[in-house]
Chains A and B, each alone.
Chain A
Amino acid sequence: MSVRRLSAVQPESFAFKPETLEKVNWWIKKYPESRRQSAVIPALWLVQKQEGWVSEPAITAVAKLLNMPQIRVYEVATFYTMFMLEPVGSAALIQVCGTTPCQLRGSEALMKVCKDKIGPKDTLSADGKFYWQEVECLGACTNAPMAMINDYYYEDLTPENLTQIIDDFAAGKEPKPGPYNGRHTSEPLGGATSLLEASLYDGSAAKPVKIPNAPEAEVKA
């Protein structure tokens, strides 16, 4: 991981949209008034939701809103790699997992697709629609290889799938998230092999339990 800095090109200004501000205020209310700055991570996250990335004017706006020094917001924004410090694609931000399980299952091929279709990593594509980066484990190793695109996981990908997904995003469509090899979530590929009988897990096999001194009504329920 390299040093994270603010983008060289910054917008003139930043303003919270009313709906963003409402959500930020909801977070601020969770903390005592003297601890407003506790809401800094949600606030930055909501800023990123609104703009796609965290700009310098946005950092200043968050600092002002939370009554904290700009440098403290800047520290948080540069500490967490999930905060994007430069503009990302208007259609999609693609984060390909490159950690060992995904790598063993072919994430390098996915990254090649990204490189061919979008351009070098950590760079905005020429048309401004895409931005892709390699990230560390996203915790979906069962469905390796995978990528997070915008807010959703796209799993069990092949280069062909990913090509199609990128094309769909480019065309303004919203491809369906989840596994792309036909299975449901992280079930085994050919269907479930255990827990086939519903009574094993639906509670019907359990004997009714009498809880001592419990109120009558609860026992019945």
Chain B
Amino acid sequence: MPIAKVNGVEVEFDPGMTVLQVAELAGEEIPRFCYHERLSIAGNCRMCLVEVKPGPPKPQASCALPAAEGQEIFTNTPMVKKAREGVMEFLLINHPLDCPICDQGGECDLQDQAMAYGRDGSRYSENKRAVEEKYLGPTIKTYMTRCIQCTRCVRFSTEVAGVTEMGMISRGEGAEITSYLEQAVSSELSGNLNDLCPVGALTHKPWSFNYRPWELTKTETIDVHDALGAHIRVDNRGAAVLRALPRLKEEINEEWITDKSRYAVDGLARQRLDRPYVRKNGQLTPVSWDEALDTVAAKLTAAPADKVGVIAGDLQDAESLKAAKDLFTSLGIINIDSRQYGEAFGAAGSQRETYLFNTGIAGIEQADAILLIGTNLRHEAALINARIRKTWLKGAVDIAVIGEAYDLTYEYEHLGTDAKTLKSFKKSDFGKRFAQAKNPVVLVGSGPLSREDGAALLNLISAEVLATANVVRDDWNGFNIVHQAAARVGALDLGFVPGEGGLNTRAIVNGGLEVVVLIGADEIDTTKLKDSFVVYVGTHGDAGASVADVILPGAAYTEKTGIYVNLEGRVQIAERVVFPKGEAKEDWSIFRALSARLGKTLPYDSLSDLRQALITDHPTFGRVDVKPSTKVFDIKALGAKGDVAEGVLASNIGDFYLTNPIARASTAMAECSGVRAAPLIQAAE
């Protein structure tokens, strides 16, 4: 490996690295605004100037200069200091210096670097330029006078988000960042533009003027708005959760998160269930915990076990599901299901690999052929879609879609829309290439698998696609289910599915049961539950709570420490940021309290006892933050033989911004939904 000297210290580096990267290897900090590891190099802010020998006797932009063998790099010479001061002085010429009223203040690259590398004052006494505000959508607040034209936002939207809508118009002093005709940025990753902006030009619109960064308490936790389990940091001030920001996690979210994960946090303060309720004379009436639990216990004792159904929702932590499952199983209840949409995978006793995203999120980058079946990845797993786009941009990946054709930000071959296409798949050109591919990947959306014929469809996919290519083998597992819910894989891992002869979600919501317990389940059709006695354990006044006869208020994902298993099968622990609202309790303790009243006291008194029991019964939960290795499984075991109906294989997400109770309670999500869903509907007509 070549060797260069940084401030006199020899450093070995990989060929192809830039001077900036080599200097960082040596532990030298190089100030920068436009350079970003995950974006292309622009080299337009000039903040990263260093002195390089051999070379011209002037400072060089280190971000765009390839390092070479024997190069001498200096980051601490008078020339470098003077160059940085000069660049900073120029950058600040047109910067308004309104830090006291700027939302970026306190976490601003320009502010920090001006302190570290700037001069003490400016020699510029002329008028500063001002730039008109732009409208960039419901998530981005602009203050364009602050912009220093680093073009990170332009590069992010073009390269990562895959929506080429931002650009720099005009030139020189007149240059302005804008979107085409000031249309809202249509990406579901738009919040990341605000993160990338090194100054206060683009800030978070839903959070504007809500906080100063130094008054917030920061908690590192896990996101639950989709099944990826993105690593996030949630900031609170007192009891109020104010924002969620992405953390670096190379294998999952890199350093991005979706707008829903980020901006739905205001939903944590609205529509909350903060005390128990019992329906009296048709009205939900606030009651004490004792009364609520006694009412539920009485009903459960009175009803025969086969007349009780339990459905678990999308945002539940594994501990609460474990407590619920233990409780209801001990009562002899087998009508329990966690597959809210009626998905046809994860039946009792099925091997874990049959319902996981086996390739792994980072594993997508090794794929050379990708087949998407009935999934709108942009809405179901936007960051997996961004990975596929990243892989596609590198070239050498062949992508095809069976099912409804969505704008996925990359080019693909559309093979057909319905299940018939699967039958002719192996004869199609893409099918032939797929059979030859080294690392083929199949992504199956949970939308089509939630249909009545989901099992038959899964079986058909297995026979027509998996069997004809090298999808599942010893060193590669390319079979992937795209989950939408953070709770799903964890629930399936601990067997939260109907027992032998038990009713599944579809049968439970069909009515006819005496007692139905909804554990945060709101995505179901509740119209036929009117005659049943409905117990709702959850956080928000949503679909489930509106039909409930008893409401037991639980804790949202920011209010409890809980285990979530992401779609890869990676076990992750979310941390408590704030305490549950009002009288609400952590969900597992509700079931523990209920169990005592039913005379079936659960054998754990604390969360750590419960986790111990969870890991003893289901050892997969003991391996935290590890993606399980890709085990081979019998592809013939997938689904069940049967007739597959006609009809388009489509995603079951109607509105990306409103997929769970937290998001539906959020005003930011309502605005996003209003702005972005409307043009899509028009286009469909």
Contacts and interface: CB of A to CB of B under 8 A. Distances in A.
A69 B162 CA distance: 11
B174 A69 contact: no
B255 interface: no
Contacts of B172: 1
A78 B165 contact: no
A3 B145 CA distance: 13
B176 A72 contact: no
B163 to A, nearest CB: 9
Interface in B164-195: 164-174, 176, 179-181
A90 interface: no
A1 B173 contact: yes
Given A2-B174, A3-B174, A4-B174, A69 B165 contact: yes
A72 B167 contact: yes
Contact of A78 (B164, B166, B169, B181): B169
A79 B171 contact: yes
A166 B595 CA distance: 96
Q: A1, A56, A71: which has the most chain B beta carbons within 10 Å? A: A71
Contacts of A4: 169-170, 174
Given A69-B164, A69-B165, A74 B180 contact: yes
Interface in A146-168: none
A127 interface: no
A62 to B, nearest CB: 13
Q: B170, B173, B174: which has the most chain A beta carbons within 10 Å? A: B170
A6 B131 CA distance: 16
A133 interface: no
Interface in B345-400: none
A206 B164 CA distance: 61
A69 B163 CA distance: 9
Contacts of A69: 164-165, 180
A75 interface: yes
Interface residues of B, number: 16
Contacts of B174: 1-4
Interface residues of A, number: 15
Nearest to B175: A3
Interface string A50-90: 00000010000000000001111011001100000000000
Contact of A74 (B169, B171, B173): B169
A146 B181 CA distance: 37
B574 to A, nearest CB: 39
A102 to B, nearest CB: 22
A70 B170 contact: no
Interface in A130-184: none
B168 to A, nearest CB: 6
Contacts of A71: 164-167, 179-180
A32 B176 CA distance: 31
Interface string B132-166: 00000000000000000000000000000000111
A56 B181 CA distance: 9
Nearest to B172: A1
A10 to B, nearest CB: 10
Interface string B326-360: 00000000000000000000000000000000000
Contacts of B171: 1, 78-79
B125 to A, nearest CB: 22
Contact of A75 (B131, B169, B173, B181): B169
B603 to A, nearest CB: 61
Interface string A2-36: 11111000000000000000000000000000000
A1 B165 CA distance: 25
Contacts of A6: 181
Nearest to A80: B171
B5 to A, nearest CB: 41
B169 A70 contact: no
A197 to B, nearest CB: 49
A3 B170 contact: yes
A79 B167 CA distance: 12
Contacts of B176: 3
Contacts of B170: 3-5, 78-79
Nearest to B174: A3
A54 B171 CA distance: 18
6 contacts: A1-B173, A1-B174, A3-B131, A71-B166, A74-B167, A75-B167
The list of the 9 closest CB pairs from A to B, nearest first, reads A69-B164, A71-B167, A3-B174, A78-B169, A71-B180, A75-B167, A78-B170, A70-B180, A4-B170
Given A1-B174, A75-B168, 15 more contacts: A1-B172, A2-B174, A3-B170, A3-B174, A4-B170, A5-B170, A56-B181, A69-B165, A70-B180, A71-B165, A71-B167, A78-B169, A78-B170, A79-B169, A79-B171
